[in-house]
Amino acid sequence: MQHLTRTAVVRACAALGLALVLTGCEMPTGITIPGLPDSGPITSTGGLPTARTPGAPTLPTGGATVKGESAVRPLATAAATKEGLPTSLVLAVVAQESAFDSRAVSAAGAQGLMQLMPGTVTHINSASSVKIVDPFDPAQNLAGGCWYLRWVKGQVPTAKVAAGEEWKFALAGYNAGIGRVKGAIDKALAGAPRDPRASWADVATRLPAETQRYVPAIVTRWDKYGR
């Protein structure tokens, strides 16, 4: 098998991730990168990045280790304030995603406090002023995750969803991919001409079971932290 240098692999992954964001094309499953051991399948979520797209886990590298809500809260507050997000919402996402452990790595390869996938990091670095060099660095991860959460919220077609439920759709997009969520909204509306706007209940059953559990779990935590 031909072996690629680390630089070549990184460049190839970055180019592939950017192409998906720009073209909105579906990526077939079962793709592997030659010369990169243990690379897992990459699945599609409507052509836009998601914090949950499966990939090869990456072990923690640099960055300070931060654990516990009290240690994360000031960093989360700063990142949330910069992006105009409720701190309580960001805390709810971090609690659900990583249990306030900055070194957390999921089986799918999501990294850090807000569990960002490598493809999501590529999107953040290319589309925003935020630069994530080390996703395990607490401040970088929170800055990127908050920007991405706000970006996903901005992609929600507000004219098509029930008033007051926009954040539920944004959280679904953070988990399952905003492209998939938009498609589910359109399908729900196609089957319900009686109402020009889709409720979360109309759309939830058209999304993955994980996402159906994820959104109410975040909302419950958000209520705990105070909306």
Task: Say which amino acid occupies 138.
Answer: P
Residues β-bridged to residue 111: 105, 116
Q: In angstroms, what CA-CA distances link 20 with 27, 56, 70, 71, 83?
A: 8, 18, 37, 36, 25
Instruction: Say which residue the tokens 């996703």 belong to.
Output: 135
Structure tokens at 47: 């052509």
Q: What is the DSSP letter of 195?
A: -
- Amino acid occupying residue 109: G
Residue type, 44: S
| Residue 210 known to be catalytic | no
C-alpha closest to that of 128 among 147, 115, 156, 149 = 147
Which of 26, 69, 83, 97 is catalytic? The answer is 97
**Closest by alpha carbon to 109, among 53, 159, 67?**
53
User: Please, what is the angle between helix 166-176 and helix 209-225, to 10°?
Assistant: 130
| Contact of 50 with 208, CB cutoff 8 Å | no
Catalytic residues: 97
